[in-house]
Amino acid sequence: MNDHHTDCCGGRCGGHGGGDGGRVSRRGFLSLSAAAASAAVLAAHTRDALAAGTLPNRSLVPAAKPIPAGLRERGVPTRYTGSDLRYIGMPVGGGCCGQVYLGGDGRLWYWDIDNGPAAPGAEAGGSTYTAPRDPFSPFGQGVVIKATGDRARRIDGDGFDDVAFTGQYPIGRVDYRAQNSPVRVHLDAYSPFVPGEADDSTLPVTVLAYTVTNTSSRSVRAELTAWAENPVCLRARSQQPITLSGERVGGEGFAGVEFTAAAGEAAQPRPDIVFEDWERTTYEGWTVEGDAFGAGPVLADQVPDYMKRFGDLRVSGQRFVTSHNFQAANGDAGRADAYTGKLTSQDFTIERRYVTVRVGGGADAAHTCARVVVDGAVVASVTGDNTEPLTVRGMDLIRHQGRTARIEIVDEATGGWGHVNVDRIVFTDVPPSHQPIDTLTDGGTVTLAGLEADARVRPSLAKWSTPEEIAEAGAGPGEIDGGLGTIAGAVTVPVRLRPGQSRTVRFAYAWYFPVPDRAALAFLSGSATLRRHYAERFDSASEVMRHLAREIGRLEKATRSWVDTWYTDATLPHWLLERTLATASTLATSTCLKFAGGRFYAWEGVGCCAGTCEHVWNYAQAIGRLFPSLERDTRERVDLGVGFHAGTGEIGNRAEADMGWATDGQCGTILRIYREHQMTRDTAFLRRVWPRTKQALGWVMSRDDRQDGTLEGPQPNTLDAVWYGEIAWMTGMYAAALYAGAEMADEMGDTAFAKRCRTLADSGCRSLATDLWTGEYFIQIVDQHHPEAVNTNIGCHIDQMFGQSLALQLGLPRVFPEDKAKTALAGIYRYNYVPDPAAYRTDHPQIPGGRWFATAHEPAVVMTTFPHGGADQANGDPPSWSASYFNESWTGQEYQLATQMVYEGLVDEGLTVTRAVHDRYAAGKRNPYNEIECSEHYARAMAGYGVYLAACGYSHHGPAGRLGFAPKVRPEDFAAAFTAAGGWGLYRQRREGHRQTCEVEVRHGEVTVRTFTLELATPPDPARLRVTAHGPRGDVRVASARVEGATVEVTFTAPLTIGAGHHLRVDVAADR
């Protein structure tokens, strides 16, 4: 297995057995105190004493917490200006197609569309939470406008002094004004996003729709020019001769430039010059700064074993240089990475085209690298790839021949992968690489086009350093050696506007980089031949653009319809709509991939922690509801396919990357199988997967040693450790999975298995309600035979009722009694919702360390608190690094908690928790679209969609034709978007006195309803209830109206299929 990404957690990610093993690297974490206290596990009488109220109650956080003002108010869309624009990065590329951001001022940045390594900061430590990244782009690009009587302006914050950003994912909107400009400009940037239509929503494209309005009193002529440098082979051009070119392309509805690359020819090589081989004990000839590099080069056979976890270090001789100062750190890996320093060579004259360096370690080109400096400026650099072994990498210096230079080896990083390894340095004319272009990860094509009939193309510009040059420059060279420079092309669209008139001009980018990083994905089946999914549909970027131009009308209409449905036509608070859909953009980041053949694959976060990890993706709800085919395929192809042990029913938590099970992972996957079944229109999927689903549930049942519905043995979980004992969190997940299994067994006619599942689930639920209930919340009874195991004992843990949260979303029977669940939710809110996590951590040092995902005065839910003691025992004996998680705040966990709160009626508390996340990710602090945990765009954060489902009181079962709503926010006059098997639309309800009108309007696809469930303001008298319904073809006959409390279940005599543009209306009169 290649561990380029799988070890991003420093070995921490839980796998088979999930144990710590006592050797786990702590890179990316704050150092854990060696003196952390540990003690024996709690005895049963301690738990009983707590239940009896005889233990002291130490208040860790204020019991009373104010509800934010305006929490339920509709409000207005969030509009960012000024310094709040700085960190915004809305993903606006296609799903599973890489990552490109729309910045706050409309610039496109990040641009990981060519299968490159994750940008620095996208690692387990989550450093970009406290140090958000500023916008960057690996190539020049942008849009310029030149209007009558005005200078040429960049359409960004440099060209316009009044800029405002409004984010309504998937569309980012930017408004531009300038005092002396006769026009104002509005940008809508997006990639097609149509729920239910995965093919339409995973196109490698970004659309930029600029609307120009004449604000003057005279007619205005203007030209909009989109331009870009050639972005093909950005990495390869420093490793081998590459010829860059651009050519005119066009077709029906578009005209543009396609950027390409071809193999260049290498010159006759001169003899190599070995500049440095490090085969000595000192840094003679180099200037040493700082303390990272120690006294001299180290012997390869004397480095710690953990530096060899990737295999042979590939040192050319006996010694090499490393800034991982393990000799000074006395075995503390985190401390060894905390040292900083620099080595600087003597000056030399550049006499060969390339400098090659054997390099490993961190992948941060700014902070952990070897670099060449000419006249005080860095002209080239190389890094490792977040692995230890040394790889030969080159720097092309053809533009600097004959000049004086020096080499710097730099370590300015202190966190995870905060070191650089360097070996042999050679000056050579021989290219470091000789790969065919079509095998390179960054080999491909990019097309920039205008989707307008009057677009004019310049495939190569003579100059492009200023807006005036971009607007007016003549033709440049058709091709260029990539070592000497690049080329830029442009597309111009003219507009003529009368006073007050507007016109929309559309530009678009399309890209085609079909070869993913196969080395980083070497653990996957068929990794040697992996290709991007879009390579099955298209042969080049221009072919993608041709498809987009042909379909743009349909795709844009559907995308805008979804945005209108979600944001404009809804009545929920704008802040809530923005936050709960923001993390759905994770699909359009480098977290998610889709391969030829249809397989969906995802990291936990960008480039970090392998295997579409079950116990992380269990939390994510957005993709399962918006693009259910992707999740459905993953259940069948991966969880019950390549990751399935056919002999036992065990599911590999990370499939090929780790075939061992995780308790929460496997239980959650069974629940997701039921969700995926509910989001289909028939039973075909369930019939295909049922035999293995039953076997998978049987595997979990076989872990139930006493066959009483309670798990007690080893329970590996998402906190990267094996826990033991009776754990409310784990048993609750087990019970929910059993209830889901019973429902599926019923549908498959397997009544005996259904009965067995319910019997075990009922028994487990009784244990939860008695043995694991303290009177305030649910706990863990630790196993005294495993004092080494991390545990929450009598602590208050955020995920104690995660199984209930999932059960509510799936319409399953209760796992925890309703009254006790509400009490426990109030307990979590009281003890874990912390106004100042930094002060909390300082004041409660019993649990050491933890990463920062909520800092000083940023309210958040701390994962586990110990209001009645037990913190000194939670670390295990010896102390486990994984206990540091208890101090952290993970948005995915906060969302699942808020989801249950809202469903259970603690609406203000649930919204308060969600609002706290929203405020932590306000644009003035960090990127609102990048929720961070173990790396960026972390998948668990897509649990936010569950809060939305709860606010709608949504329920659905596609094959059964069941659809229902019980809104929790302003139900008297409510409207919200919904998705269902086969389509999506808008749900409205209005209450007037004792009457309620409910309307399901389908706006895309079609939805079949046999049973519709609604909730009235108060329980009605069934004898006086009157229900009528009206559908696309007139009145709909009602077979029955079953009443349970305030809930009314209306069943029609026959299924009703509602197509786009049609609706179902149900009127209920509860006369008294």
The model's pLDDT over 173-200, given as tens digits with 9 standing for 90+, comes to: 999 999 999 999 999 999 999 999 999 9
Q: Return phi, psi of residue 33, to 5°.
A: -70, 130
Q: Return the pLDDT at 8.
A: 53
Sheet holding 153-154, edge to edge: 153-154, 141-147, 220-229, 488-497, 456-458
Q: Return phi, psi of residue 322, to 5°.
A: -140, 140
> What percent of the chain lies above the pLDDT cut of 90?
91
Q: How confident is the model at residue 61 (pLDDT cuts 50, 70, 90)?
A: confident
Q: How confident is the model at residue 47 (pLDDT cuts 50, 70, 90)?
A: very low
Does residue 45 surpass a pLDDT of 70?
Answer: no
Give domain 273-430's CATH number out of 3.90.1150.10, 3.40.605.10, 2.60.120.200, 3.40.50.970.
Answer: 2.60.120.200
Token pair of 560, please?
Answer: 């805008």
Contacts with 251 (C-beta within 8 Å, 6 or more apart), sequence order: 545, 546, 549
Amino acid identity of residue 304, one-letter, is P
CATH number of this structure's domain 44-65+571-949? 1.50.10.10
Which residues on neighbouring strands pair with residue 726, listed in sequence order?
A: 781
Q: Return the pLDDT at 121.
A: 72
For the segment 255-281, the average pLDDT, to the nearest whole number, is 96
Smallest CA-to-CA distance from 674 within 617, 584, 737, 748 is with 737
Does residue 21 surpass a pLDDT of 80?
Answer: no
Rounded-to-5 percentages of helix, strand, coil across the chain:
25, 30, 45
599: left (phi over 0), alpha (psi -120 to 50) or beta: beta
In whole angstroms, give the CA distance from residue 498 to residue 407: 59
In whole angstroms, give the CA distance from residue 732 to residue 454: 62
Cβ count within 10 A of residue 762: 14
Upper half-sphere CA count for residue 296 (Cβ side, 13 Å): 12
For the segment 236-253, the average pLDDT, to the nearest whole number, is 96
Angle between helices 728-747 and 663-678 (to 10 degrees): 30
- Cα three-residue angle 936-895-889, rounded to 5 degrees: 60
Q: Return the pLDDT at 34.
A: 25
Q: Contact at 8 Å (CB) between 796 and 828?
A: yes
Helix or strand run (H / E) with residue 687: helix 684-702
In whole angstroms, give the CA distance from residue 889 to residue 859: 10
In whole angstroms, give the CA distance from residue 903 to residue 952: 9
Q: What is the 3-state secondary structure (H, E, C) of 227-292?
A: EEECCCCCCHHHCCCEEEEEEEEEECCEEEEEEEEEECCCCCCCCCEEEECCCCCCCCCCEEEECC
Mean pLDDT of all residues belonging to the chain: 94
Give domain 81-118+130-254+438-534's CATH number out of 2.50.20, 2.70.98, 1.10.4160, 1.10.10.
Answer: 2.70.98
Q: Contact at 8 Å (CB) between 658 and 613?
A: no
In whole angstroms, give the CA distance from residue 973 to residue 323: 62
Q: Where are the domains of the chain?
A: 44-65+571-949, 81-118+130-254+438-534, 273-430, 953-1070
Tell whether domain 953-1070 is in CATH 2.40.50: no
Q: Return the pLDDT at 3.
A: 34
| Radius of gyration over every alpha carbon of the chain, rounded to an integer in angstroms | 30
Please state which of the ranges 31-45, 422-436, 861-875, 933-947 shows the lowest mean pLDDT: 31-45
Which residues on neighbouring strands pair with residue 427, listed in sequence order?
A: 273, 355
Token pair of 376, please?
Answer: 């005080």
Smallest CA-to-CA distance from 190 within 177, 173, 178, 175 is with 173
Q: How confident is the model at residue 232 (pLDDT cuts 50, 70, 90)?
A: very high
The model's pLDDT over 921-955, given as tens digits with 9 standing for 90+, comes to: 999 999 999 999 999 999 999 999 999 999 999 99
Q: How confident is the model at residue 9 (pLDDT cuts 50, 70, 90)?
A: low
Amino acid identity of residue 969, one-letter, is V
Query: Quick one: CA torsion of 703, 707, 713, 718, rounded to 10 degrees?
Result: 60
Which residues on neighbouring strands pair with residue 1043, listed in sequence order?
A: 1048
In whole angstroms, give the CA distance from residue 646 to residue 694: 12
Q: Tell me how far the alpha carbon of residue 769 is from its chain's centroid.
A: 35
Grouping H, G, I as helix, E, B as strand and the rest as coil, residue 99 is: strand
Smallest CA-to-CA distance from 286 within 368, 338, 348, 349 is with 348
The model's pLDDT over 77-132, given as tens digits with 9 standing for 90+, comes to: 999 999 999 999 999 999 999 999 999 999 999 999 999 987 777 777 788 999 99
Smallest CA-to-CA distance from 4 within 294, 386, 279 is with 386
For the segment 59-75, the average pLDDT, to the nearest whole number, is 86
* CB neighbour burial string for 948-972, b if at least 16 within 10 angstroms, e if fewer: bbbbbbbbbbbbebbbbbbbbbebe
For the segment 315-324, the average pLDDT, to the nearest whole number, is 97
Q: Return the pLDDT at 127.
A: 86
pTM of the model: 0.94
Contacts with 305 (C-beta within 8 Å, 6 or more apart), sequence order: none
Q: Determine the length of the chain.
A: 1072
Q: Return the pLDDT at 10.
A: 43
Position of tokens 């808020």?
A: 898
Does residue 567 surpass a pLDDT of 80?
Answer: yes
